[in-house]
Amino acid sequence: MDDHDFMEMALDLALKGRGFTAPNPMVGAVIVKNGNVVGSGYHQFFGKAHAEVNAINDAGGDANGATLYVNLEPCNHTGRTPPCTRKILDPGIHRVVVAMRDPNTDVKGGGIDFLRKNGIDVSVGICEEKAQKLNEIFVKYVRTKRPFVILKCAATLDGRIATRSGDSKWVTNEQSRGFVHQLRHAVDAILVGINTVKTDDPSLTTRLNHGGGKDAIRIILDTHLSIAPDAKVLRPNPGSDTILVAGKPVINEKKSALEGDGVRIIESAVKDKRINLDALMDQLGALGITSVLIEGGSCVIASALKSGIVDKIVFFYAPKITGGDDGIPICRGKGPEAMGDCIAVKDITVQRFGDDVMIEGYIEKT
């Protein structure tokens, strides 16, 4: 086995922290001596020990003279935990292999330089592309202080997310829906429009097959605070809060009637009679929300794309055709006049879930 193989192990370990480490990144670490893994660990929860510390503790005395593989530059600052760089020096690790440098300009990195100055051989860039994608949420948030936005939709082959009556259960199969719950577990917040709440009355909770999923914050775009008081998203949920986003100004009587038991209301700017999603992303970032999964409906999807807030799309297509033009489309409203003005998507990957097809890609920023 070589550096690439051991770094792949570290990346696999890092994934175990998905959904639990935000706003921290997902990090895994492997300690290798004489070609054998003698210690391993990952960052399990925000505020708890970092991956390097867990791996070194797991290795014990075998860490002396060993090589540490970690998918992100070890921290060289004191936050909720002490610097990992000093922990690396203590047991006599002689080499460190890092997949990617720390993009967080607030802490100014410095981990690699510190280790090198203290006589440790450091290699950088092994599996870097995979490491960047693994922590794409963290990378965007620390650079912009705005959440990484994923847009998800489920549609028929002719581009309808519901029939003319509004029926959308179920467009895609159980396997696809299971993957969506993995997405919900991985993000900080789920965002939908008030029409989705009125039509489907969703809970917007996470239900993983093996259990143990994390419920994301539920964000409802409700310009006029017209949500029904008995909507499921307003029910007390010990796993997450609900944020209602209203336009300015909010009527105090409506606000006092809805707030409480994990429900809060924030006022946001309005553009073209809808919540200004670009401005809202700044507000959500200031609240410490690092990632948002947009789940519809069609007006929200169109607004999100036009506002330029979307970073990544996850589109599911089921082997069904409505056969008419009166169903609910993926996007509502005016589109471009020319194909050259369409929103471009790059780095496409395709995955099958039974007979469903999932297309994943990234919005090409101009």
The residues assigned a catalytic role are: 52
Q: Strands 274-275 and 270-271, how do they pair?
A: antiparallel
Q: Residue 68: beta bridge partners?
A: 31, 96
**How far is it, in rounded angstroms, from Cα 149 to Cα 141?**
10
CA torsion 101→105→106→108, rounded to 10°? 60
Q: Strands 121-124 and 95-98, how do they pair?
A: parallel
Residue 252, φ and ψ in degrees, nearest 5 = -60, -35
**How far is it, in rounded angstroms, from Cα 1 to Cα 7?**
10
